[in-house]
Structure 1
Amino acid sequence: MSTTTPIPATASVPTGAMDQPRGVVLVSDRVRLEPLGPQHVQGLREVVADGEIWRIPYAPHVPSPEQVAGAVAAQRASDEAGRTVSWAVVDRASDRVVGHTTFLNISVRDRRLEIGSTYLAGSVHRTGLNAAVKLVLLTHAFEQLGCLGVEFRVHHLNIASRRAVERLGAQQDGILRAHRIMPDGTLRHTVVYSILADEWSGVRASLEHRLRS
């Protein structure tokens, strides 16, 4: 007769809601995350043109250069409504805007949120900058906000992004099948990953080691 190993009950966790995340400046040695504003429009136009990243398959959240101003305005409206918190990513070495990232699907009651809608200039891909951004965001989520879990959601065919999330140390929770109808009419199955609070110290140590290397 088969047996099922029970999932252990979580030890005491905070029962109160966490504070609503706000747009604050977040800084590390390598990056500065600035609350998204109209002053970032031109920089983000250059970001999406760098490598024409809006043409990357399975990333409809990346606007074309002509769509950036509207996308920033829409994102700011979402931020002001408390649904999301968005940042422009600045490379401190060059002091230029190199990307965009967001907290979304925020549940203050459950102390949980998603990191998503991230895009970076083509010239900084595979330079470790994405890991630096995620380290700043995860540190803020777990150590300042007191999150119990942080999610990442990825198109099932976006293998590069899936591998990047896995390298962060996130665990796959499952797949939301036929989750979204994409702009081109295809169906997206969404792969859900997460990092939990009791996994954070190990994930942080691994990320810091990667960045030192």
Structure 2
Amino acid sequence: MTFAATPTLKNDRVTLETLRPEHCGHLAVAAETDDLWRTWYTHIPAPTDIDDEIERRLSLQKEGRMAPWAIIDGASGRAVGMTTYCNLDPANRRLEIGSTWLSRASQGTGVNAAAKLLLLTRAFEELGCIAVEFRAHWHNHQSRAAIEKLGAKQDGVLRNHTVFENGTVRDTVVFSVIDNEWPTVKFALSDRVNREAS
């Protein structure tokens, strides 16, 4: 089974479906609201660039380098963000869950946890991964806290890792969940998703 495939993944809170040009309208609104796309320490496309970003991700999928999904809110049926499997490494049974962003209105609502539960379940139980990685900008404290709340552990910090378009240099914080941790992480994350849905 290819790591770059994007089957529909669904639970009571969210649906992850293959990213498509048809998602552009909803995603543009999600990025535009409260100027989310202007967040300096992450890469969220400008509303006018959503179509290009969709095409970029789909091109990487055709090359077998990324698995891009749209995050569909179960309550509204609207696309509220994007997520991917990236840094695909089937030979070593590893991948990264990344290039994720969510509308401001969806943050803190349980959408992220529900989506991550779907992605982690597929990675460990269908693709046979032995490790799943997450990365965040040192200054993105919200994402770092959200990753830790999922049950991932910090592996380390890649200092002076990436030069951003605005001239700043990103220190990248690396987290992971490994296969022998997955049963406990799944139990805790499932419990959290169920509590947030009630």
Q: Quick one: which of 137, 140, 155 aligns to 2:119?
A: 137
Q: Aligned residue for 1:201?
A: 183
Task: State, as a whole percentage, how many aligned pairs show the same letter.
Answer: 44
Q: Which one has a larger percent helix, Structure 1 or Structure 2?
A: 2
Contact 1:131 1:211 in 2 (8 A): yes
Contact 1:26 1:136 in 2 (8 A): yes
Q: Give CA deviations for 1:103-139 in whole Å, capped at 9, x if unaligned.
A: 0000000000000010111111111111011001000
Tell me how far apart the structure 1 counterparts of residues 34 and 190 of structure 2 sit (CA, whole Å).
28
Contact 1:51 1:121 in 2 (8 A): no
Give the TM-score taking structure 2 as reference length: 0.95
* Larger radius of gyration between Structure 1 and Structure 2: 1
Q: Aligned residue for 1:44?
A: 27
Please list every run of 5 or more consecutive structure 2 residues that lacks an aligned counterpart in the other structure. none
Q: Aligned residue for 1:66?
A: 48
Q: Aligned residue for 1:23?
A: 6
Give secondary structure in 2 for the equivalent of 1:51. helix
Q: CA deviation at 1:147?
A: 0.5
Contact 2:163 2:170 in 1 (8 A): yes
Q: Aligned residue for 2:74?
A: 92
Q: CA deviation at 1:19?
A: 4.0
Contact 2:15 2:71 in 1 (8 A): yes
User: What is the RMSD computed on CA atoms of the aligned residues?
Assistant: 1.1
Q: Quick one: which of 17, 35, 38 aligns to 1:34?
A: 17
Tell me how far apart the structure 1 counterparts of residues 48 and 151 of structure 2 sit (CA, whole Å).
35
Give secondary structure in 1 for the equivalent of 2:165. coil
Instruction: Return the letter of the residue paired with 1:177.
Output: R
Tell me how far apart the structure 2 counterparts of residues 80 and 174 of structure 1 sit (CA, whole Å).
31
Please list every run of 5 or more consecutive structure 1 residues that lacks an aligned counterpart in the other structure. 1-17
Q: Aligned residue for 1:185?
A: 167
Q: Aligned residue for 1:114?
A: 96
Tell me how far apart the structure 2 counterparts of residues 19 and 98 of structure 1 sit (CA, whole Å).
26
Q: CA deviation at 1:46?
A: 1.3
Tell me how far apart the structure 1 counterparts of residues 169 and 125 of structure 2 sit (CA, whole Å).
36
Tell me how far apart the structure 1 counterparts of residues 122 and 157 of structure 2 sit (CA, whole Å).
27
Give the TM-score taking structure 1 as reference length: 0.89
